[in-house]
Amino acid sequence: MLNVLRRKDSFGYIAQMFASNLFILFLNTLTGIIIARYLGPIGRGEQAAMIMWPQLLSYMVTLGLPSSIIYYMKQKGSQQGSLYIASLWMCLLLGMISILGGLLFLPGWMDGYSHNKIAFSCWALILIPFGLIGVINNAVLQARDEYLLFNRIRYLPNIITLVLLGALVVTGNVNPFYTSIAYLAPIIPISVWTMMRLLSIYKFKHSDLIQSSRQLVQYGIRSYGTDLAGTLSFYIDQVLVVGLLSPASLGIYLVALSLAKMLDIIQSSIVSVLFPQASGLQPNEAIQLTLKMYRISAVLTFGLVILLVTFAPYVMLLLYGASYKEAIPIFRVLIVQAAIASATWTLAQGFMATNRPGRVTMLKVLSLLMNAALINVLTPHMGIIGAAYSLLISAVVNFLLIIWLYYFEMRISWSSILFQADDWSWVKRQLLGKKNLTETERVIP
């Protein structure tokens, strides 16, 4: 296994991502237990409402820059330095716009919370430019195949947060305000350090910034709908629950949601590597690689779903306490939704890597609209579990639609989406190393 983690190919990168995601999951579980135990459902909900906005608003104004910079940096002859510098200037501008929009929007939306919590949320918006720069930094590291540093940057904030929360527990200062700072503060030094490192590689002066900006916007605008709809789809349930239900209900819902997101360790590990690598392949090769990764990840995800549905409810009560018992049925719905959504997003990388991000944007927008409509209809009548069912229905519809797109646009056979005997053989050959592979079997030709 250690040999696989040291490999510098797609399979090795996926293994590194998976190991990193497991570590992040472990860290998130520890921080989640501290927050849930010491703040309770009400405090957990209040804290979540206070800290979600910087990341949400950062992702809402990316203009598709992360996908765009990965796509163009993987093209032969690209001006990587110019692309990075141009993206930084755009991040600063977009960050300022997002801060102004947040200041106008937040006070009204958080009307049910205390003045101090609303004020904290507004001040936290100054982190938006740092969040945007962090997203761009991560995209550049992926494009450069620097997955070791990429993974370290991903889990370092969680380590810092855990240390800060531990200090709060020891000193007896656990409250929604201090814990929110523990979650938000790490983004500043990490984003700045990574930016300075990349600037030392690319330098700051480039003469073709306008051309690079035009390139980024041309691809980014087409994929921006995907980023925006994906971000809103990811947060829409939490945002609407903030407005529709009490902080205690939000706290219970978030515990169930965080456990269901365990499935992301498979999908995010594959997608983080699949899109950059597939972007450098011929269209047909990119599609075949995407389908293979989808089939393998679907089998792994299905097995993990069975384990989580069986044991997670008991673990939930043990770790979080009886006050979160209501989260168990919500978790069971969300874990199925997460599995279906993971399969859909893995398949979507085939369209992203073949310069057809508009198809993915269409699916994401449809998912967003369905989520918003269903949550507003079902949640007032069914409570928290209504939000979970809303996400599940939307996930099923999106999965069926992307399968339909593959069949009619990519001209694949229906059997291509089903696990094949050769997939397992391919995995075994990958584990044994590249010397056991033929040229056509290698992840990177």
For residues 410 and 157, which has the higher predicted lDDT (pLDDT)?
Answer: 157
Question: What one-character DSSP code corresponds to residue 355?
Answer: T
Tokens coding 262: 């365990």
pLDDT at 268: 67
Q: How far apart are CA 388 and CA 326, in angstroms?
A: 13
For residues 288 and 119, which has the higher predicted lDDT (pLDDT)?
Answer: 119
* Residue 25 pLDDT > 70: yes
pLDDT at 281: 67
pLDDT at 70: 83
Q: How confident is residue 444, by pLDDT bands cut at 50, 70 and 90? A: very low
For residues 156 and 206, which has the higher predicted lDDT (pLDDT)?
Answer: 156
Q: What is the pLDDT of residues 96-135, one digit of tens each?
A: 999 999 899 888 878 777 889 899 999 999 999 999 999 8
Tokens coding 151: 């993974």
pLDDT at 445: 40
- Residue 46, number of CB atoms within 10 A of its CB: 26
**Separation of first and last alpha carbons in the chain:** 23
Q: How far apart are CA 276 and CA 70, in angstroms?
A: 6
Of 312, 308, 315, 320, which Cα lies nearest the Cα of 44? 320
Q: How far apart are CA 404 and CA 249, in angstroms?
A: 37
8 burial (CB, 10 Å; 0-12 / 13-18 / 19+) is exposed
* Residue 442 pLDDT > 60: no
- Please tell me whether the overall predicted TM-score, pTM, comes out greater than 0.75 for this model: no
Q: How far apart are CA 131 and CA 17, in angstroms?
A: 21
Q: Where are the beta strands (DSSP E) in 208-319?
A: none
Of 88, 66, 213, which Cα lies nearest the Cα of 140? 66
% of residues, the chain, pLDDT over 90: 16
Average pLDDT of the chain to the nearest whole number: 80
